[in-house]
């Protein structure tokens, strides 16, 4: 039984249902046939005091509107207008504020110089393509008044971009202090707009090795902007490992955000200056930097400022969710599966009940990012202490607040943690009175659950749902350090960041193919004695992080005979050894015999857009369905429709898909 929506959402839905006036026979169809034609080009411009549309890029509109509303009161009483204020909650922050601004462009058209201007059709079409899965997830029809072919115009017709304000100030070039060269690192805190400008400027300087892209938006609509470095930015290259570094998952922990902004500029500059180390790293590795996973929380923390920020102010996102507690708890399921030797305990699917709760758009963006990119290594940068922790973060005995809870890859995770800590001057400082001094006897690294146990963490999710190994780095005891401390922080963390990224080349890599040389995607790479398999990427390539020593490695896939090889990794080897596998087909034997053990229990399944049993991406563009977001079946109405029927006899049937 899906849980009821929150009280605030009920109030908004009630307002929407009550406002559905029978201005015209809405039952004719879902295309809005009852509404009249476009307003005339000539119009009387009036001020537009509409609260929901107060942040549009213009300040005057005209009546009657494109939907034949003849006054501000008529607009505000309309179901279309109130729907715009509800969508933010119905879609759980997705496509916000884009859809609202797009809708405002129709409900309150732009008026300039006595003429009405139409929003651009291509903007509408792009948004519909991106946001349709979010409507499908709650079984809601695309709003008729966002019909791209009817209410929007082409560039040739003089349209305008209704989303222009979202980019306002982000494309404006900011002069460096005192005319300093672009190679200069300015050790200061960066606002969201400044961060975006620096990343885009850096990508432009190194366009042959860098590019920026967005993985989604925050709840308040800020782009989650990534800068990528690679010999061929924008594409995965065969056997090139992928690394991601994520900062600012907690909005008030800002050191990681700044370190990644500086790192992006440093990598670009050093590559251009001919640094052999940086050129080798970027020519053999695809690196993705997400400086701020929680830009909304950062805004709250930055408003208080460095030195004044409280321990928790700005920590959560705009929904008051702790993003590092918002991922699926797969660790509990791992402990259950680990009790049986006959089932796999890696690439665990997301439980259906997870989608019944509140999932932040930032969390969804990270999960979708992971589905579309074969990450091998990752680090999440935090603040509040000085230590490197590694999975598991959740204790194998839930009642124990502190309990050593290793993964099957304990040795490798310790190597990864030490790759950072051992070259960090303060983590190696022998004083127990310093920040993080209580971790000195452990070498400034610790198993997460042995420090303190919690569920829903990003690192555990990475390890149990994908091929990616993620550690957590606490950069210092001051969460929002003053600007004068940033240069020293960079000096302390520059080498650890580089050294950590270079460890992605430890272990083995290769390609799994059939006898015809065709890549076998989703093949399993099994290491005897380590109960955690990884899977091949769509091109058949794989990367298996392994500690030094001898290992028995097995490659297997449904329909093929397994291949076993023994590999030895020298202690000082810093380049992944290449180990390819050629799988022979099993001929006429039934393929289902090789599907491997099935998971017990019926409570787990991957939603569309998740990974299959063997980790293969499925339709990554789709949003997950489940719980109260599950679509209607058998002709029943969607979960949200009952609130309309109980509150008003006039119902916006154009919201229904049938």
Give the residue numbers marked as catalytic.
474
Q: Are 239 and 302 in contact (CB under 8 A)?
A: no
With a cut of 60, say whether residue 429 has pLDDT above it. yes
With a cut of 80, say whether residue 172 has pLDDT above it. no
Closest by CA position to 213, among listed 370, 369, 381, 99: 369
- What is the rounded CA–CA span in Å between residue 355 and residue 358? 7
- What is the rounded CA–CA span in Å between residue 111 and residue 175? 34
Q: What band does 50 get if pLDDT is binned at 50, 70 and 90?
A: confident
What is the per-residue pLDDT for 290? 98
Residue 493 structure tokens: 């963390």
Look over the chain and give the mean of its residue pLDDT values, rounded to a whole number: 84
Q: What is the mean pLDDT of residues 162-173?
A: 66
Residues 6+ apart with CB under 8 A from 475: 253, 255, 256, 259, 381, 382, 383, 386, 489, 493
Longest CA–CA span in the chain (Å) reads 80
Q: Which residue has the tokens 């930055």?
A: 302
What is the per-residue pLDDT for 208? 96
DSSP string, 405-429: ---TTHHHHHHHHHHHHTT-TTTT-
- CATH top-level class for 508-585? mainly beta
pLDDT digits (tens, 9 = 90+) for 282-300: 999 999 999 999 999 999 9
pLDDT exceeding 90 applies to what percent of the chain?
60
With a cut of 50, say whether residue 180 has pLDDT above it. yes
- What is the rounded CA–CA span in Å between residue 501 and residue 492? 16
Question: 327: phi > 0 → left, psi -120 to 50 → alpha, else beta; which?
Answer: beta
Q: What is the mean pLDDT of residues 27-54?
A: 59
What is the per-residue pLDDT for 276? 96
pLDDT digits (tens, 9 = 90+) for 86-124: 777 777 777 878 888 999 999 989 998 888 999 999 999
With a cut of 90, say whether residue 544 has pLDDT above it. yes
- Strand partners of residue 338: none
- Which of 72-76, 132-136, 223-227 has maximum average pLDDT? 223-227
R_g of the chain computed on alpha carbons = 27
- What is the rounded CA–CA span in Å between residue 592 and residue 230? 40
Q: What band does 626 get if pLDDT is binned at 50, 70 and 90?
A: very low
Q: What band does 324 get if pLDDT is binned at 50, 70 and 90?
A: very high
- Which of 26-35, 416-425, 435-444 has maximum average pLDDT? 416-425
| DSSP 3-state of 383 | coil
With a cut of 50, say whether residue 482 has pLDDT above it. yes
Residues 6+ apart with CB under 8 A from 303: none
What is the per-residue pLDDT for 622? 39
Task: Please give the CATH number for the structural domain made up of 45-169.
Answer: 1.10.2000.10
Please write down the HEC assignment for all residues of 243-255. Answer: EEEEECCCCCCCH
Q: Are 125 and 613 in contact (CB under 8 A)?
A: no
Q: Please report, to the nearest 10 degrees, the dihedral formed by the alpha carbons of residues 77, 78, 81, 87 taken in order.
A: 110
What is the per-residue pLDDT for 635? 58
Q: Are 223 and 98 in contact (CB under 8 A)?
A: no
What is the per-residue pLDDT for 625? 36
Residue 272 structure tokens: 């251009």
- Which of 63-72, 100-109, 318-327, 586-595 has maximum average pLDDT? 318-327
With a cut of 90, say whether residue 247 has pLDDT above it. yes
With a cut of 90, say whether residue 415 has pLDDT above it. yes
Q: Which residues of 499-533 are buried (b: 16+ CB within 10 A; e: fewer)?
A: bbbbbbbbbbbbbbbbeeeebbbbbbbbbeebbbb
Does residue 155 or residue 39 have the better pLDDT?
A: 155
Q: What is the mean pLDDT of residues 217-228?
A: 94
With a cut of 90, say whether residue 6 has pLDDT above it. no
- What is the rounded CA–CA span in Å between residue 520 and residue 510? 12
With a cut of 50, say whether residue 249 has pLDDT above it. yes
Q: Which CATH architecture has domain 192-393+424-439+455-505?
A: 3-Layer(aba) Sandwich (3.40)
Residues 6+ apart with CB under 8 A from 57: 162, 164, 165, 168
Residue 209 structure tokens: 């090795």
pLDDT digits (tens, 9 = 90+) for 20-36: 444 443 333 333 344 33
DSSP string, 129-161: HHHHHHHHHTT-PPPGGG-TTTS-B-TTTT-B-
- Locate the domains of the chain by residue range: 45-169, 192-393+424-439+455-505, 508-585
Q: What band does 181 get if pLDDT is binned at 50, 70 and 90?
A: low
């Amino acid at each position: 039984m899906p849980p009821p929506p929150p009280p605030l959402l009920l109030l908004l839905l009630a307002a929407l249902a009550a406002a559905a006036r029978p201005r015209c026979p809405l039952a004719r169809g879902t295309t809005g046939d009852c509404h009249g034609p476009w307003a005339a080009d000539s119009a009387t411009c009036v001020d537009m005091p509409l609260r929901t549309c107060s942040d549009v890029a213009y300040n005057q509109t005209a009546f009657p509107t494109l939907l034949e509303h003849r006054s501000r009161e008529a607009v505000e009483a309309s179901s279309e207008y109130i729907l715009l204020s509800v969508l933010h909650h119905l879609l759980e922050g997705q496509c916000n504020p884009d859809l609202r601004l797009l809708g405002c462009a129709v409900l309150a058209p732009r008026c300039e110089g006595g003429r009405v201007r139409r929003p651009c059709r291509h903007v509408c079409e792009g948004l519909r393509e991106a946001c349709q899965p979010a409507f499908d997830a709650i079984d809601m029809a695309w709003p008729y008044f966002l019909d791209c072919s009817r209410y929007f115009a082409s560039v040739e017709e003089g349209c305008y971009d209704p989303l222009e304000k979202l980019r306002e100030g982000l494309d404006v070039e900011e002069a460096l202090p005192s005319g300093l060269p672009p190679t200069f690192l300015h050790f200061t805190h960066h606002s969201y707009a400044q961060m975006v400008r620096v990343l885009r400027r850096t990508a432009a300087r190194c366009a042959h090795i860098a590019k920026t892209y967005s993985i989604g938006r925050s709840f308040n609509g800020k782009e989650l902007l990534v800068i990528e470095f690679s010999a061929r930015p924008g594409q995965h290259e065969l056997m090139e490992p992928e690394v991601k570094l994520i900062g600012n998952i907690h909005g008030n922990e800002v050191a990681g955000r700044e370190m990644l902004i500086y790192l992006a500029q440093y990598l670009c500059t050093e590559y251009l200056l001919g640094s052999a180390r940086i050129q080798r790293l970027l020519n053999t590795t695809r690196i993705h930097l997400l400086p701020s996973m929680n830009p909304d929380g950062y805004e709250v923390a930055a408003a208080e400022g460095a030195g004044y920020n409280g321990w928790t102010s700005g920590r959560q996102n705009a929904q008051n969710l702790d993003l590092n507690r918002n991922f699926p708890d797969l660790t509990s399921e791992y402990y259950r599966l680990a009790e049986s030797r006959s089932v796999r305990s890696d690439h665990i699917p997301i439980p259906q009940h997870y989608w019944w709760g509140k999932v932040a758009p930032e969390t969804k963006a990270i999960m979708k990012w992971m589905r579309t990119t074969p990450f091998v290594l990752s680090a999440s940068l935090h603040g509040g202490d000085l230590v490197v922790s590694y999975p598991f973060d959740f204790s194998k005995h839930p009642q124990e607040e502190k309990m050593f809870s290793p993964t099957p890859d304990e040795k490798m995770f310790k190597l990864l943690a030490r790759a950072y800590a051992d070259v960090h001057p303060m983590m190696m400082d022998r004083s127990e009175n310093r920040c993080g001094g209580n971790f000195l006897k452990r070498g400034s690294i610790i198993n997460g659950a042995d420090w303190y146990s919690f569920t829903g963490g990003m690192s555990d999710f990475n390890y149990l749902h994908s091929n990616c190994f993620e550690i957590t780095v606490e950069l210092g005891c001051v969460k929002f350090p003053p600007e004068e401390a940033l240069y020293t922080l960079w000096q302390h963390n520059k080498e650890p960041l580089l050294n950590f990224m270079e460890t992605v080349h430890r272990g083995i890599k290769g390609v799994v193919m059939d006898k015809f040389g065709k890549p076998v995607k989703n093949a399993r790479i099994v290491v005897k004695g380590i109960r955690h398999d990884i899977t091949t990427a769509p091109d058949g390539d794989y990367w298996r992080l392994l500690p030094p020593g001898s290992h028995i490695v097995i490659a297997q896939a449904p329909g093929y005979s397994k291949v076993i090889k023994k590999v030895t990794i020298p202690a000082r080897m810093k380049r992944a050894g290449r180990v390819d596998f050629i799988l022979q087909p099993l001929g006429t034997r039934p393929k289902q015999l090789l599907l491997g053990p099935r998971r017990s229990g019926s409570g787990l399944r991957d939603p569309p857009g998740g990974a299959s049993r063997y980790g293969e991406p499925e339709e990554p563009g789709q949003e997950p369905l489940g719980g109260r977001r599950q679509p209607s079946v058998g002709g029943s109405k969607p979960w949200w429709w009952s609130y309309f029927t109980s509150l008003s006899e006039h119902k916006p049937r154009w919201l229904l898909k049938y």
